[in-house]
Structure 1
Amino acid sequence: MESRQRKGYGGWPVLSLWFSLACFTGATAQLSYSILEELRPGAVVGNIAKDLGLTVQRIIQRKLRVISESNAQYFEVNHATGDLVIRQTIDREHMCELSSTCSLHLEINPLAIHRVLVDIVDANDNAPQFSTKNISLEISEAAAPGTRFRLESAHDPDVGINSLRTYHLAPNDCFVLNVETKSDGSKFPELVLEKALDRETQASFRLLLTAVDGGKPEKSGSTLLLIKILDVNDNAPVFEEPVKKVSILENVEPGTLVTKLNATDADYGQNGQISFLFSKYTQDRVLKLFSVDSKTGEIRVNGQVDYETANEYHITVQARDGGTPAMEGSCNIIVDVTDVNDNSPEVTLTSLTSPIREDAAPGTVIALISARDLDSGKNGEVTLKVQSGLPFKLNSAFGEHYNLVTDGNLDQETIAEYTVVIMATDAGSPPLSSRTTFVVKLSDVNDNAPSFSQPSYSVDVPENNDLSTPITMVTASDPDTGDNARVSFSILPSMVQGSPISSYVYINPETGHIYSMRSLDYETLNAFRIEVQARDAGAPPRTANVTVHVFVVDLNDNAPLIVYPPFPQDTGLLLSVPQSAGPGHLINKLVGVDPDSGHNAWLFYSIAPGPHAGLFRIAPHTGELRTARKLAEEEGGSAYDIIRPSKDLHLQLNTDGPIRYMEVVGGAQDPPGTRTYRPCYSTISSRSDFVFVKTPMMSHNNTLSMTLNRKHLMNSAIEVRALGGGGGILANRV
């Protein structure tokens, strides 16, 4: 038997398949063929008849047939041509898998058994294949460059040069491919990290891995590498705005949203979960006013925001991820507080001069006033105004400071103090205002003299007065204050009836009470004047004078006297009456006087009671003594003792009605039995003797004795009486 080995097509390794061709010739021959796999049925392997040295007819005669060792019949003999042909397509990879040789044993019966070696030459009919369409791979972004990751190998059922030759990786920035060869010649790929990974830049890769065989033309198979970059907490959260400026109104309600922060973390999963919090260095006042939601990043007002306390807040908020260790990012928030006109102006009295002299010149600075408003802008612009109607005005000094100065003449006696109201108003909308009130007192200047309560005084002092009792009191006031208003009294020197006034009266310098130094006697001195001076204690002092008219009031301290007809001192007055005298016969006219005055000197005549009082009558006012009836004959020559100076003549005093004063002047003697009375005049009034000089009986004039004072004497009733010869009275009032 002969054995041969041949090269396959193109020099590829040949898989040998042995088969026998049997024929019963008594001899055994071995042939060797080499064919490509995957030939179509009918393809000629070789001319078996020729190779065996047989003719076609002999093959037919011997009934040459092919017997295969396997159940499959891959070959048959064409008896017409003697060719060994393919009966069914041979798939070497299916038949022999990866074996380097592959044989089929054929027998040719019945003449002899011939062994035929058929080399099945591999055809590059298979592309390399990966077991899956996708290969998933997880790589940490922290992997160092140079790190290798072994990949799944591809499978190529072809052998030899048609088998898997190498791998290719699609171009990318981070990975390269390394192909390693095992000791058995097989190859496997390794993924090599060439550049540091950053999951946040590229979280995954889709790379095409291709396995290429050595066939011509070459075939390839690919799989998709799905590389997932595992996150490492290598990124801190990042705010959209590292510095954010927002504005809020002051006095907003708690819970008002200030702003919402947004932050991102390029990391994944827990490493990218962000929570918000205030920096640990945040001031307490900020923590009291604001809060931050750890999940949403919302910053809200948590307290009372007041522009005047702070008009700007700097808040540092941190965004912290959930990695281990955690990483943080920060954001600086500038919160501008917008002013609201919620503050009234404040007025401060920084300096006050009080009291001030009432003679201060206009423009004198009284007070320094400052004004401010904690608000800003128009809300903080303050206008000051002083209450109208006051003698003051405001002058701007500098900035928010003002001077309050006098703006007119001051008079402490008219207004001793002023209540000053300063109104401050801002320019907000609506405007707010406030006020401050203070008192400016005026200090007195001795610019006023004392003033008596009356322009003059009139006082009635009863004669025989009590020396311990003041006869009157003068009062004076001084509109000034203090020593300038402290008044003392004194009596100015003068003379009364040749004697100093000081010998008659003195005055209490403090109270103004005037006392008599002697008991007054109307009949000696019925009136006098006192000049009183009031002096204040200012420097220099000021004075005022007033006249006090003192009228001595007559008391009935003197008894009347009969002056006509004269009374003998040792005997009574003897008057005669004719026997023939009838009723009303004038016996005589009695004239009495009284040193007193007024009603105390007004005389009434009457006959003293007695047994003979009925024989006579006397005129009560004129003193005319007359017969009451005709005397009886038996009464003639009798003596009647009816008038005695101290007893029989009774002079009654009239205390009712006006005071009347009458003087009777007798005329020349008439013939016996007759008497002529000439008219006489007299002024009679309750105060007439103080007001008028006594008028002579025959005078027709009344003369004033003093300056009239309306308060002292509103009016005076003057009764003028003319006394005729018949005793009648004619009265006229003026």
Structure 2
Amino acid sequence: HSEYKVKLKENSPQGTLVSKVEATDLDFWFKCTDHLLIPPDVKLIMKKETSYGMSIRATDGGGLSGHCKVLVEIEDVNDNVPEVSVISITSPLAEDSPLETLVALFSVTDRDSGDNGRTMCSVETNLPFLVVQSSLDREKVSEYNITITAVDQGSPRLTSTRIINVQISDINDNPPVFEKSSCEMQIRENNIPGLLIGSVRAADLDTEKNAKVTYSLLPGKVTDGLVASYISVNSESGNLYALRSLDYEQIKDFKVTVRATDGGSPPLSSEVTVRVVILDENDNAPFFLYPLQNSTSPCNELVPKSVEAGYLVTKVVAVDGDSGQNSWLSYELLKATDPGLFSIGAQNGEVRTRRALSERDTSKQRLLIVVRDNGLPPQSSTAMLHVLPVGVFSDPYMKAVEVRKEEHEEDGALTLYLVICLAAVSFVFLVCIVSFAAIKICRRDPRESFIAAPPHFPPARPDIPENGGDSQSGSLSRSYHYDVCLTGGSLSSEFRFLRLSGMQTSTWAVQLHKTAKSK
């Protein structure tokens, strides 16, 4: 043959028989056979060369030769896996990217040929790539690892994979969120200014500056003042501090609103309402209402000497400005003139006799009563009560007095009516007296009495002595006194002299009562 065609698979090992050629010489009927082998230093790779050609020459002893060609075609073997190459990628990818946004562009190649070089690729299902197919949310998924798988059609099939990492960038789409929309904090009264009350925390699901939260107080009022004068908040930590000493008796609780704002653009915010409850401390001592504490006048209670044991003398009353157990009061008889004569109820403050009174008991009993609260430490106050045993009142009267004391509040309206009636009766009585006097004066006989007109004296002159007279003008001094002399035989006073003296003039009046007989 002048040409041989041989097919050889690529990657055939060294020393593999490629082909056998024969040469024939008719002169001597000589036949020569030779074998074509792959040399040791040659590796057949189809990707580099798809075929090889060679010429073979056969020469006899007479110098004649013949030629033939050997064409070796290399057959492809599926010995190359597909290759995935990323051409472009968008990472990080904004979480608000619209749908159909291109994320990555890649290619798949296989160096084999024919079916060995045909490939198929696939990505994981339910992933919004390689173009955005659904909305993104960085707070749920902050990154995606996309696995691309390429498979050729050779036999056996070869597979390769490539992982693409896509980061999702944050946008400020989440406001700060408090754990609760409202909360409660407690602080004891009489606190020192600057005391930490508590903390509020707000979490932001965004990142970096979008998640940086600052805290502030919203304007408001506490009773008659601004909330900013009572409490402050640390802008970074959310700690709440009391700016002044609080008093439970003035303010029992108040509310403040704290706002949390992130650093995004535009900034987002949320609010929480904090109720600050002031806890009571035992800072108020009990105060006696009866007997009135610190009163300048003593409190006296009358008790009949005939009372028996258990008689209710009076009831002391005290109050406490605190609350809870700090305001629970108990009474005790601290000191008494006769400790065995009286007792006091620890809870109700009722003062009662422990035995019947006797003549040997003193006429004035002094009771020093103390009232204590139930706080820690307890506080107390004292009051003095004087009990006066008397024997001039009857038992019914004393019982009536006791009833009036117990029902004082109920009889308040009745007392008011009695006062009004008494005033009306007094007014009518006064009108009657005035009317009677007027009638008596009108019915009097004018012949029986008369009023002498007072004489008129001229004013004093500076040229006349105070106690002297002037014979020419007949003027008198500024002050004179007159006396009336009656005869001893007069049966009654014929004259009544009324003397009125003043600084400038003297006036007098004489009233004739009877006609006297001249002697």
TM-score (norm 2): 0.64
Residues 332 and 345, structure 2, Cα contact 8 Å, conserved in 1: yes
Residue 106 of structure 2 corresponds to residue 377 of structure 1: no
Q: What is the CA-CA distance between 1:436 and the residue it aligns to? A: 2.1
Structure 2 residue aligned with 1:351: 88
How many angstroms apart in 1 are the aligned matches of 2:98 and 2:25? 82
What amino acid is aligned across from residue 332 of structure 1 in structure 2? V
How many angstroms apart in 2 are the aligned matches of 1:625 and 1:379? 116
Residues 272 and 322, structure 1, Cα contact 8 Å, conserved in 2: no
Residues 23 and 58, structure 2, Cα contact 8 Å, conserved in 1: no
Residue 651 (structure 1) aligned to one of 350, 368, 372: 372
Larger relative contact order (CA 8 Å, sep ≥ 6): 2
How many angstroms apart in 1 are the aligned matches of 2:331 and 2:70? 128
How many angstroms apart in 1 are the aligned matches of 2:33 and 2:309? 153
Q: What is the CA-CA distance between 1:427 and the residue it aligns to? A: 3.5
Structure-2 change in CA distance of 1:469 and 1:654 (3 Å): closer
What amino acid is aligned across from residue 205 of structure 2 in structure 1? P
How many angstroms apart in 1 are the aligned matches of 2:176 and 2:337? 70
Residue 560 (structure 1) aligned to one of 280, 286, 309: 286
Structure 1 residue aligned with 2:20: 261
How many angstroms apart in 2 are the aligned matches of 1:564 and 1:442? 78
How many angstroms apart in 2 are the aligned matches of 1:271 and 1:634? 178
What amino acid is aligned across from residue 476 of structure 1 in structure 2? A
> What does the per-residue CA deviation read over 1:288-333, in whole Å, with 9 as the maximum and x for residues that have no partner?
575xxxxxxxxxxxx6x665x4462415364565859896845333
Structure 1 residue aligned with 2:361: 636
How many angstroms apart in 1 are the aligned matches of 2:89 and 2:306? 108
Residues 274 and 322, structure 1, Cα contact 8 Å, conserved in 2: no
How many angstroms apart in 1 are the aligned matches of 2:115 and 2:365? 121
Aligned-residue CA RMSD (Å): 3.7
Residues 307 and 357, structure 2, Cα contact 8 Å, conserved in 1: no
Q: Which SS does the other structure have where 2:148 is aligned?
A: strand
Structure-2 change in CA distance of 1:343 and 1:579 (3 Å): farther
How many angstroms apart in 2 are the aligned matches of 1:270 and 1:602? 143
Residues 331 and 344, structure 2, Cα contact 8 Å, conserved in 1: yes
Residue 139 of structure 2 corresponds to residue 413 of structure 1: yes
Structure 2 residue aligned with 1:671: 400
> What does the per-residue CA deviation read over 1:550-609, in whole Å, with 9 as the maximum and x for residues that have no partner?
222222111111112323535764445544544443332222222222332232333448
Structure 2 residue aligned with 1:593: 319
How many angstroms apart in 1 are the aligned matches of 2:67 and 2:341? 151
Residue 50 of structure 2 corresponds to residue 335 of structure 1: no
What amino acid is aligned across from residue 338 of structure 1 in structure 2? D
Count of matched residue positions in the alignment of Structure 1 and Structure 2: 388
Structure 2 gaps, min length 5: 378-397, 410-519
Structure-2 change in CA distance of 1:432 and 1:464 (3 Å): farther
> What does the per-residue CA deviation read over 1:174-232, in whole Å, with 9 as the maximum and x for residues that have no partner?
xxxxxxxxxxxxxxxxxxxxxxxxxxxxxxxxxxxxxxxxxxxxxxxxxxxxxxxxxxx
Residue 518 (structure 1) aligned to one of 244, 247, 251: 244
How many angstroms apart in 2 are the aligned matches of 1:670 and 1:482? 85
> What does the per-residue CA deviation read over 1:525-557, in whole Å, with 9 as the maximum and x for residues that have no partner?
222221222111111212222222222222211
Structure 2 residue aligned with 1:55: none
Q: What is the CA-CA distance between 1:429 and the residue it aligns to? A: 5.0
Residues 275 and 319, structure 1, Cα contact 8 Å, conserved in 2: no
How many angstroms apart in 2 are the aligned matches of 1:465 and 1:306? 91
Structure-2 change in CA distance of 1:376 and 1:581 (3 Å): farther
Structure-2 change in CA distance of 1:330 and 1:415 (3 Å): same
What amino acid is aligned across from residue 553 of structure 1 in structure 2? L
Residues 491 and 532, structure 1, Cα contact 8 Å, conserved in 2: yes
How many angstroms apart in 1 are the aligned matches of 2:153 and 2:119? 7
How many angstroms apart in 2 are the aligned matches of 1:632 and 1:621? 25
How many angstroms apart in 2 are the aligned matches of 1:609 and 1:270? 162
Q: What is the CA-CA distance between 1:493 and the residue it aligns to? A: 1.8
How many angstroms apart in 2 are the aligned matches of 1:678 and 1:288? 134
How many angstroms apart in 1 are the aligned matches of 2:15 and 2:359? 143
Residue 218 of structure 2 corresponds to residue 460 of structure 1: no
Percent of pairs identical after alignment? 33
Structure 2 residue aligned with 1:480: 206
Residue 219 of structure 2 corresponds to residue 493 of structure 1: yes
> What does the per-residue CA deviation read over 1:680-709, in whole Å, with 9 as the maximum and x for residues that have no partner?
xxxxxxxxxxxxxxxxxxxxxxxxxxxxxx
How many angstroms apart in 2 are the aligned matches of 1:619 and 1:319? 144
Structure 2 residue aligned with 1:245: 6
Q: Which SS does the other structure have where 2:236 is aligned?
A: coil
Structure 2 residue aligned with 1:623: 349
Residues 353 and 366, structure 1, Cα contact 8 Å, conserved in 2: yes
Structure-2 change in CA distance of 1:625 and 1:379 (3 Å): farther
Q: Which SS does the other structure have where 1:365 is aligned?
A: coil
